[in-house]
Amino acid sequence: MTQPRRDLNQCTNFPNQAAIAWEAGAPLSYEDIEVAPPRAGEVRIQVHHTGVCHTDAYTLSGKDPEGAFPVVLGHEGAGIVESVGEGVTSVNVGDYVVALYTPECRECKFCKSGKTNLCGKIRATQGKGVMPDGTSRFRARGKDLLHFMGTSTFSQYTVVADISVVAVTPKIPTDRSCLLGCGITTGYGAAVVTAKVEEGSNVAVFGVGCVGLSVLQGAVKNKAGKIIAVDVNDGKEAWARKFGATHFVNPTKLSGKTIQEHLIEMTDGGCDYTFDCTGNVGVMRAALEACHKGWGESIVIGVAAAGQEIATRPFQLVTGRVWKGCAFGGIKGRTQLPGLVDDYLNGELKVDEFITHRQPLSAINSAFDQMKEGDCVRCVVDMK
Ligand SMILES: NC(=O)c1ccc[n+]([C@@H]2O[C@H](COP(=O)([O-])OP(=O)(O)OC[C@H]3O[C@@H](n4cnc5c(N)ncnc54)[C@H](O)[C@@H]3O)[C@@H](O)[C@H]2O)c1
Ligand SMILES: [Zn+2]
Ligand SMILES: [Zn+2]
């Protein structure tokens, strides 16, 4: 089946700008970019909205040992398919789509295993910041720029592999669907798909930012019993309760006992499920040790800084606690993301509430600053 193609370079008044990361530690630069047409198996997206996530800030900071520059960052984006390359059948021009940093090819060992949402098909090239054929579609100031996480949503147009994009109903506006590209899906999926929280089970969520608030939503959907939000910022209590937490604990305000001891007391022996949504390895330990002996499971979601390691006494695992983790909540993007959109449209998944700040693409650096403030859950960037 051949799809219609349009060549960006033939269109004269094509507004086409991006926020480019020329070097680590410097602000993004808002400027003209050339985005080449999609080649075989690729899709060019007109990005309408993108979220800004900690991973973008981490790579921009230069602390990510795998970060390479110059690069177009961004991985929480939604928009419309503008053109498709040869052989693309999974999406059509005009489709509303969400970019997927965790692709789904449906044919690799990982995809066929039925045990993971990780896909191996384009892992090597995605990690190197190039398209599957080893080249880049971005150029600015006469230089090739790298892609990021297979998505690069901080550009008004981006090119992705066809396995890195999913079509969703236009009933969900792109300023909401973009947030399903990372944070919200990650938390919700961690509770519903990875942990499979059961009815009546006791849950503790460490860190209630965008990801943790979504874990709370997943725990509510699966009818958990006690849903305990743990955060060092008291300002998060109201947020946590709004998203379904039944209890809130600030671990810095406990006198004479650790957070794990406190949670074990609150739940008569420990939690059935705990989630780290902070990226702090000390918190990961506390989350594991707050689990119920014999069966409690702790899910690591937070991304720790380079070189950090986790520790606990092995006896914690010998006595039945389970330590695991997930990326993108364990959600298979092409297969399962449309279901999350349905949950949103049915009122079962909050998305609108996450948007606390908005910026135009030209002020994207302010979005990075706001992300570091305690009252920001998500800043959505308008790409138009
Ligand atoms: N695994 C994945 O696929 C994936 C995807 C997205 C984000 N992440 C990671 O998830 C983590 C959370 O992301 P977010 O966007 O929700 O971040 P966020 O900054 O919005 O939220 C983090 C929350 O943790 C709280 N916190 C910090 N230190 C704490 C401590 N010691 N104890 C308790 N609470 C503490 C903060 O007050 C804040 O409310 C980050 O590490 C991010 O990189 C992972
Ligand atoms: Zn992210
Ligand atoms: Zn695959």
pLDDT per position in the chain (384 positions), as tens?
Answer: 344 444 444 443 355 999 999 999 999 999 999 999 999 999 999 999 999 999 999 999 999 998 999 999 999 999 999 999 999 999 999 999 999 999 999 999 999 999 999 999 999 999 999 999 999 999 999 999 999 999 999 999 999 999 999 999 999 999 999 999 999 999 999 999 999 999 999 999 999 999 999 999 999 999 999 999 999 999 999 999 999 999 999 999 998 999 999 999 999 999 999 999 999 999 999 999 999 999 999 999 999 999 999 999 999 999 999 999 999 999 999 999 999 999 999 999 999 999 999 999 999 999 999 998 888 999 999 998
CA 292–ligand 1 middle distance (angstroms) = 23
Residues 6+ apart with CB under 8 A from 332: 104, 111, 117
Q: Where are the alpha helices (DSSP H) in 94-209?
A: 109-113, 123-128, 174-177, 183-189
Domain co-membership, 43 together with 127: yes
Ligand nearest to the CA of 371: 1
Letter for the amino acid at 152?
Answer: S
CATH code for the domain in which residue 363 is found: 3.90.180.10
Report the C-alpha gap between 376 and 183 in whole angstroms: 13
On whether both 169 and 26 belong to a single domain, the answer is yes
**Could you tell me if 192 and 280 lie in one domain?**
yes
Q: Are residues 161 and 198 in the same domain?
A: no
Catalytic residue among 42, 76, 289, 297: 76
pTM of the model: 0.95
Q: Residue 53 catalytic?
A: yes
Residue ranges making up the domain that contains 175: 8-181+351-382
What is the maximal distance between C-alpha atoms in the chain?
69
The count of structural domains within the chain is 2
Say yes or no: 237 and 167 in one domain: no
Q: Residue 106, class by beta-carbon neighbours within 10 Å (0-12 exposed, 13-18 middle, 19+ buried)? A: middle
Q: Is residue 142 part of a domain?
A: yes
Give distance in angstroms: CA of 196 to centre of ligand 3.
Answer: 23
341 belongs to a structural domain: no
Mark whether 168 and 233 lie in a shared domain: no
Length of the chain: 384
Query: Coil, helix or strand for 375?
Result: coil
To the query of whether residue 75 is one of the catalytic residues in this protein, the response is yes
- Among the options 44, 48, 104, 111, which is catalytic? 111
Question: Phi/psi at 78 (nearest 5 deg)?
Answer: -140, 150
* Sign of torsion over alpha carbons 220, 327, 60, 163: negative
